[in-house]
A and B are shown apart, each in its own frame.
Chain A
Amino acid sequence: MAVEVYLNSKLVGTIDNPIEFVQRIKEERRKGSVTNNLNVYYKERANEIQLESSKGRARRPLIIVKDGIPLLTEKHIKQLEKNEISWSDLVKQGIIEYLDAAEEENSLIAFFESELTPEHTHLEITPLAMLGYCTSLVPYGNFNQSTRLNAGSKNQKQALGFYASNFSVRMDMDVNLLHYPQMPIVNTIMHDISDYNKHPAGQNIIVAIMSYKGYNMEDAIILNKGSIERGFGRSTYYRPSIAEELRYAGGLIDQVCIPDKDVKGYKTEKDYRFLEDDGIIYPEAKVREGDVVIGKTSPPRFLSSMEEYSLASSTRRESSINLKHGEEGIIDFVLVTENEEGNKLIQVRVRDERVPEIGDKFTSRHGQKGIVGLIVPQSDMPFSAHGIVPDLIFSPHGIPSRMTIAHLIEMVAGKVGALAGRYINGTTFDAEPEERLRKELLSLGFRESGMETLYNGQTGEQYNAKIYIGNMYYLKLKHMVANKLHSRARGPIQLLTRQPTEGRAKEGGLRLGEMEKDTFVAHGASLLLKERFDSDKTVVPVCESCGIIAIKDNYKNKSYCTVCGENVEVNEIEISYAFKLMLDEFKSLGVYPKLQLESKY
């Protein structure tokens, strides 16, 4: 029976000898006479051959196998090592080819060379290829649950590290830089491939798995104060401020300078104290929120005919750049240049050193993230017989439910690596076996279980249990309390509603929402509820005769109603400003909201 042939889902003809045809296509592709973007799939069930060369298909490279022997030989590998040939040469030579999901259905792919039989058509390049970049950075990943691998690779993307070696001359927005970053002792082949030691993102530390006075409950971690003082987890936060001398219509221009006192919107002298004569701050100045970094004035906003003749028209506007709420630091770098249009451009970079504190987030590479719960003086930390003090204490309750076995193996591997002075290969599916590490640990004079007797740092007593302790690679994540901490008792309010502003950046209030309100009602705490919702309370005069908000003239001490005139009784009532707004909106809808006043008692 003739087999239908489809090219990119369009019927192009029929063929009588499908197997031969498919084989021919494959051979031509490997030879290079047909594009290597072409994939072929013989769908026996439907009695059709599907040829695909369209874009948008996920394809992956595999080594071609013939008669149970892979086409990639030692010779090729040597050539690759000497840089004589490249990947694309292998593709051109028909040693490696890309398969799409459909053609994979017609193939038999071996994971390892040792598994090859004559039936196999392809060989996996490495099992690691099934993982992405970040996931392959997790050591002993094949010992973890897959969800933890996902979490682990997500965490690594948020880690602080050494992102670029020219950082000191760059003006990136919101950058964190880890101090003393290290190459992990337990690494994977991906660390080598990606030159991880040129941009590392963590530090090797000693971790003990134990409870410590309940301060590491619920994924919290305990940090050794001594370690922090020695530089663990320190980072610097960089943030540039940018100002431009913009040109306006009529030949007017912004001016970078220390603003004169008669400028509209002049702050206070104190705010400008760091500015030098050119209106720009000097490096190494210690600045806090509100301090002006670049002084600038702008021409008046509107040049109306009225103002043109008045004295005020010459007044320039203050438009300095100052540090936002909650920001502080030291001026690190000042750059004066010009932009594409030739306008003067000033960039000032602020640096702020971040020492680990309670609330900062740390993680190992296994999705075991946690927040610092307590920082303990080194003298109070547990210690081993060798005098080793852990840098970090991790809670044992984080292990059973998450089943991150690799976390435990990494501790042993790290310990061996640190003691033997070598890096340990922890590549997923291709790692140094755990048994060998344990044997080596024993030969180095430690218990092969990885556990040690620890002593209470405060009393000197031996702990009853042996404590699992080892070396791990820990990462500091970019979520730091300093950027999140927020509280408010009083502060800015919105113009329209007179309610507190929203959000940390605007020093906003913390909303007591609908459901929280319900709890007050449920407790019958009526007056407390009223007090909590007092943030926008106002006292308004109301005309008794028409029931609409009247006007009170405090200067003349007189009240009158815009509708009924002066000879009416006006009383003051206390309502929320939001309600007053609603009454106004009713009026705009053409609805007359009449307030009928009544004695409260």
Chain B
Amino acid sequence: MSDLISEYEGKLPGIMLTEIRENLPKGASDSKIRKILESAYNEYKHARVSPGESVGLVSAESIGEPGTQMTLNTFHFAGVAEMNVTLGLPRIIEILDGRKELENPMMEIYLKKPYAAGKRVEELRQLALQIKETTLKDIAAEFVISIADFTIEVRLNKEKMKEIEVTSGKVVDAISKQLKGYNLRDNKDSIILKARGKEDSFNESYKTKEKIKGITIKGIKGIKQVLPVKREEEFVIITAGSNLSEVLQLEEVDSYRTTTNNIFEIEQVLGIEAARQSIVNEIFKVIESQGLNVDVRHIMLVADTMCVGGTVKGITRYGVVSEKSSVLARASFETPIKHIINAALVGEVDNLDSVVENVMINQPIPIGTGLPSLGVKPQKQAKEK
């Protein structure tokens, strides 16, 4: 049996062969297996894209046309703790542009078995609170700069601290870790910062005051909001704000399923293949949420072009478009003068082997019927006599 299947190696993709191998009924006769493989091979051949098919343009049209029907609204979760989600066209643009700063970064944190079951609700709540970022600003009642000796006094809000279970000692630890060059004094209900060595000027103290406001006291940096949600039989923590690398380090977190909607973070933490998949997932999620129907393969093609370079590149003049080999093609997309001047400076040659350039100069485009050409160069006939 297995040698029958291995005969088709190279003809059919490996994943199909494994699938056939796994799903074959027990005791199937060789002739039947051959029949199955043969028809699988025919189906596969039939499904392949023919040479010269303009897949990119068909993808662009297939995504672009339903895109005209998408709404521009951001969608709101119903519930006590409301969370904003960018959906629709703005989100698609955000993904395709390859933006690093998202409008609404979000994470879905899946938990390991004992926590996910949600039986120990208190534990779940604790976990969620542990993840949520608390900055000094959140627990401080007041920041005071003394003009006499340019020290900064942070008066603490005791009630808030109790709520999230932080002591002033912990606060001092956190500040000293993240701020160098200052001596700290813990007065229990306030903390006093004094510059080490020479005295601060007023300007410097003001800058430091603004800086320490953002110091993380507790939780994971960037996670602004947490919301435990029951999804089917388990609990999932949805967060506003994202920090994949640190969340994955938590013991309770199921690192296999936890995701973020920030593609760049995925690229950094999990690599380019994961980023590619997450582009597909994120775009598909938006299209699905709008009730539209686009074949995944179009989206996969877009994700592939964004990731072929090994890093995620947006479909902008700085990203994918800047990689085009043709000067004319680049110039036809945004900032033409810049491209032409730069091309002139280095003496770039445009070989005119893509679509846009050939449309411009009115030559057959190398696609479809314009693709095939003679493979043999006819020799110049020797002049007769």
A residues bordering B, Cβ < 8 Å? 517-518, 521-530, 533-534, 536-537, 574-576, 578-579, 582, 586, 589-592, 596, 599, 601
Q: Which residue of chain A has the shortest Cβ distance to B55 in the bound complex? A: A522
Question: Considering the chains assembled together, what is the distance between the CA atoms of A88 and B61 in angstroms?
Answer: 66
In the complex, how many angstroms separate the beta carbon of A574 from the nearest chain B beta carbon? 7
Known: A522-B58, A524-B53. A533 touches B359 (CB 8 A): yes
Known: A526-B371, A529-B365, A601-B374. 20 other contacts (CB 8 A): A518-B61, A521-B355, A521-B368, A524-B52, A524-B54, A524-B367, A525-B369, A530-B370, A533-B359, A574-B362, A575-B361, A575-B362, A576-B362, A579-B362, A582-B360, A586-B344, A589-B340, A589-B341, A596-B349, A601-B377
User: Among A521, A536, A601, which residue has its beta carbon within 8 angstroms of that of B54?
Assistant: A521
Q: Are the CB atoms of A576 and B361 closer together than 8 Å?
A: yes
Max chain A C-beta neighbours (<10 A), residue from B341, B349, B359, B366: B359
Question: Considering the chains assembled together, what is the distance between the CA atoms of A578 and B363 in angstroms?
Answer: 13
Q: What is the total of A-B residue contacts with beta carbons within 8 Å?
A: 79
Q: Mark B361-385, 1 if CB is under 8 A from A, else 0.
A: 1111111111101100110000000
User: Among B58, B60, B341, B374, which residue has its beta carbon within 8 angstroms of that of A591?
Assistant: B341
User: Among A517, A518, A530, which residue has its beta carbon within 8 angstroms of that of B364?
Assistant: A530
Q: Are the CB atoms of B368 and A523 closer together than 8 Å?
A: yes
In the complex, how many angstroms separate the beta carbon of B28 from the nearest chain A beta carbon? 41
Contacts of A601 in B (CB 8 A): 373-374, 377-378
**Quick check: is B57 within 8 A (CB to CB) of the other chain?**
yes
Contacts of B52 in A (CB 8 A): 524
Question: Considering the chains assembled together, what is the distance between the CA atoms of A85 and B11 in angstroms?
Answer: 101
By Cβ-Cβ distance, the 5 closest A-B pairs, closest first, are: A524-B368, A526-B370, A576-B362, A591-B344, A579-B361
Question: Considering the chains assembled together, what is the distance between the CA atoms of A442 and B18 in angstroms?
Answer: 81
Question: Considering the chains assembled together, what is the distance between the CA atoms of A572 and B355 in angstroms?
Answer: 23
Question: Considering the chains assembled together, what is the distance between the CA atoms of A576 and B358 in angstroms?
Answer: 10
Question: Considering the chains assembled together, what is the distance between the CA atoms of A590 and B58 in angstroms?
Answer: 38
Q: Are the CB atoms of A592 and B370 closer together than 8 Å?
A: no
Contacts of B373 in A (CB 8 A): 601
In the complex, how many angstroms separate the beta carbon of A525 from the nearest chain B beta carbon? 6
Q: Which residue of chain B has the shortest Cβ distance to A535 in the bound complex? A: B362
Contacts of B371 in A (CB 8 A): 524, 526
Q: Are the CB atoms of B367 and A526 closer together than 8 Å?
A: yes
Q: Are the CB atoms of B364 and A522 closer together than 8 Å?
A: no
Q: Are the CB atoms of A527 and B377 closer together than 8 Å?
A: no
Q: Which residue of chain A has the shortest Cβ distance to B370 in the bound complex? A: A526
In the complex, how many angstroms separate the beta carbon of B77 from the nearest chain A beta carbon? 34
Q: Mark B319-355, 1 if CB is under 8 A from A, else 0.
A: 0000000000000000001001100100001000001
Contacts of B337 in A (CB 8 A): 589
B residues bordering A, Cβ < 8 Å? 52-54, 57-58, 60-61, 337, 340-341, 344, 349, 355, 359-371, 373-374, 377-378
User: Among A518, A526, A537, A591, which residue has its beta carbon within 8 angstroms of that of B369?
Assistant: A526
Q: Which residue of chain A has the shortest Cβ distance to B51 in the bound complex? A: A524
Q: List 7 A-B contacts (CB under 8 A).
A: A521-B365, A522-B54, A526-B366, A526-B370, A530-B363, A533-B359, A579-B360
Question: Considering the chains assembled together, what is the distance between the CA atoms of A533 and B364 in angstroms?
Answer: 10
Question: Considering the chains assembled together, what is the distance between the CA atoms of A454 and B367 in angstroms?
Answer: 59
Question: Considering the chains assembled together, what is the distance between the CA atoms of A379 and B355 in angstroms?
Answer: 58
Q: Which residue of chain B has the shortest Cβ distance to A536 in the bound complex? A: B362
Contacts of A529 in B (CB 8 A): 359, 364-365
Question: Considering the chains assembled together, what is the distance between the CA atoms of A523 and B52 in angstroms?
Answer: 10
Contacts of B361 in A (CB 8 A): 575-576, 579
Question: Considering the chains assembled together, what is the distance between the CA atoms of A592 and B57 in angstroms?
Answer: 32
Contacts of A522 in B (CB 8 A): 54, 57-58, 61
Question: Considering the chains assembled together, what is the distance between the CA atoms of A533 and B362 in angstroms?
Answer: 7
Contacts of A592 in B (CB 8 A): 344
Question: Considering the chains assembled together, what is the distance between the CA atoms of A590 and B362 in angstroms?
Answer: 24
Contacts of B362 in A (CB 8 A): 530, 533-534, 536-537, 574-576, 579
Q: Are the CB atoms of A517 and B344 closer together than 8 Å?
A: no
Q: Are the CB atoms of A527 and B370 closer together than 8 Å?
A: yes
Contacts of A525 in B (CB 8 A): 368-369
In the complex, how many angstroms separate the beta carbon of A143 from the nearest chain B beta carbon? 34
Question: Considering the chains assembled together, what is the distance between the CA atoms of A526 and B355 in angstroms?
Answer: 10
Max chain A C-beta neighbours (<10 A), residue from B349, B361, B367, B370: B361
In the complex, how many angstroms separate the beta carbon of A549 from the nearest chain B beta carbon? 13
Q: Which residue of chain A has the shortest Cβ distance to B360 in the bound complex? A: A579
Q: Which residue of chain B has the shortest Cβ distance to A574 in the bound complex? A: B362
Q: Which residue of chain B has the shortest Cβ distance to A519 in the bound complex? A: B61
In the complex, how many angstroms separate the beta carbon of A234 from the nearest chain B beta carbon? 43
Question: Considering the chains assembled together, what is the distance between the CA atoms of A599 and B378 in angstroms?
Answer: 11
User: Among A521, A528, A576, A596, which residue has its beta carbon within 8 angstroms of that of B360?
Assistant: A576
Contacts of A537 in B (CB 8 A): 362
In the complex, how many angstroms separate the beta carbon of B241 from the nearest chain A beta carbon? 40
Question: Considering the chains assembled together, what is the distance between the CA atoms of A601 and B374 in angstroms?
Answer: 7
Contacts of A524 in B (CB 8 A): 52-54, 367-371
Question: Considering the chains assembled together, what is the distance between the CA atoms of A574 and B58 in angstroms?
Answer: 29
Q: Are the CB atoms of B368 and A526 closer together than 8 Å?
A: yes
Contacts of B341 in A (CB 8 A): 589, 591
In the complex, how many angstroms separate the beta carbon of B69 from the nearest chain A beta carbon? 16
Q: Are the CB atoms of A518 and B57 closer together than 8 Å?
A: yes
Contacts of A530 in B (CB 8 A): 362-365, 370
Max chain B C-beta neighbours (<10 A), residue from A579, A592, A599: A579
Question: Considering the chains assembled together, what is the distance between the CA atoms of A579 and B362 in angstroms?
Answer: 8
Question: Considering the chains assembled together, what is the distance between the CA atoms of A372 and B344 in angstroms?
Answer: 59
Known: A526-B370, A529-B359. A521 touches B57 (CB 8 A): yes
In the complex, how many angstroms separate the beta carbon of B62 from the nearest chain A beta carbon? 10
Question: Considering the chains assembled together, what is the distance between the CA atoms of A492 and B61 in angstroms?
Answer: 34
In the complex, how many angstroms separate the beta carbon of A39 from the nearest chain B beta carbon? 41
Question: Considering the chains assembled together, what is the distance between the CA atoms of A118 and B60 in angstroms?
Answer: 70
Q: Which residue of chain A has the shortest Cβ distance to B62 in the bound complex? A: A522
Q: Which residue of chain B has the shortest Cβ distance to A533 in the bound complex? A: B362
Contacts of A521 in B (CB 8 A): 54, 57, 355, 365, 367-368
Q: Which residue of chain B has the shortest Cβ distance to A515 in the bound complex? A: B61
Question: Considering the chains assembled together, what is the distance between the CA atoms of A533 and B52 in angstroms?
Answer: 21
Known: A533-B359, A591-B344. A527 touches B369 (CB 8 A): yes
Question: Considering the chains assembled together, what is the distance between the CA atoms of A472 and B365 in angstroms?
Answer: 58
Question: Considering the chains assembled together, what is the distance between the CA atoms of A81 and B33 in angstroms?
Answer: 102
Q: Are the CB atoms of B365 and A591 closer together than 8 Å?
A: no
Contacts of A579 in B (CB 8 A): 360-362
In the complex, how many angstroms separate the beta carbon of B65 from the nearest chain A beta carbon? 10
Question: Considering the chains assembled together, what is the distance between the CA atoms of A536 and B362 in angstroms?
Answer: 9
In the complex, how many angstroms separate the beta carbon of A572 from the nearest chain B beta carbon? 14
Contacts of A586 in B (CB 8 A): 340, 344
Contacts of A582 in B (CB 8 A): 360
In the complex, how many angstroms separate the beta carbon of B370 from the nearest chain A beta carbon? 3
Contacts of A534 in B (CB 8 A): 362
Question: Considering the chains assembled together, what is the distance between the CA atoms of A537 and B363 in angstroms?
Answer: 10
Contacts of B57 in A (CB 8 A): 518, 521-522
Max chain B C-beta neighbours (<10 A), residue from A530, A533, A576, A590: A530
Q: Which residue of chain B has the shortest Cβ distance to A517 in the bound complex? A: B359
In the complex, how many angstroms separate the beta carbon of A515 from the nearest chain B beta carbon? 9
Contacts of A576 in B (CB 8 A): 360-362
Contacts of A518 in B (CB 8 A): 57, 60-61
Contacts of A526 in B (CB 8 A): 364-371
Contacts of A599 in B (CB 8 A): 377
In the complex, how many angstroms separate the beta carbon of B134 from the nearest chain A beta carbon? 43
Question: Considering the chains assembled together, what is the distance between the CA atoms of A530 and B373 in angstroms?
Answer: 16
Question: Considering the chains assembled together, what is the distance between the CA atoms of A574 and B361 in angstroms?
Answer: 9
Question: Considering the chains assembled together, what is the distance between the CA atoms of A530 and B361 in angstroms?
Answer: 10
In the complex, how many angstroms separate the beta carbon of A527 from the nearest chain B beta carbon? 5
Q: Which residue of chain A has the shortest Cβ distance to B52 in the bound complex? A: A524
Question: Considering the chains assembled together, what is the distance between the CA atoms of A576 and B364 in angstroms?
Answer: 12
Question: Considering the chains assembled together, what is the distance between the CA atoms of A19 and B289 in angstroms?
Answer: 58
Question: Considering the chains assembled together, what is the distance between the CA atoms of A162 and B25 in angstroms?
Answer: 86
Known: A589-B340, A592-B344. A527 touches B54 (CB 8 A): no
Q: Which residue of chain B has the shortest Cβ distance to A580 in the bound complex? A: B361
Contacts of B54 in A (CB 8 A): 521-522, 524
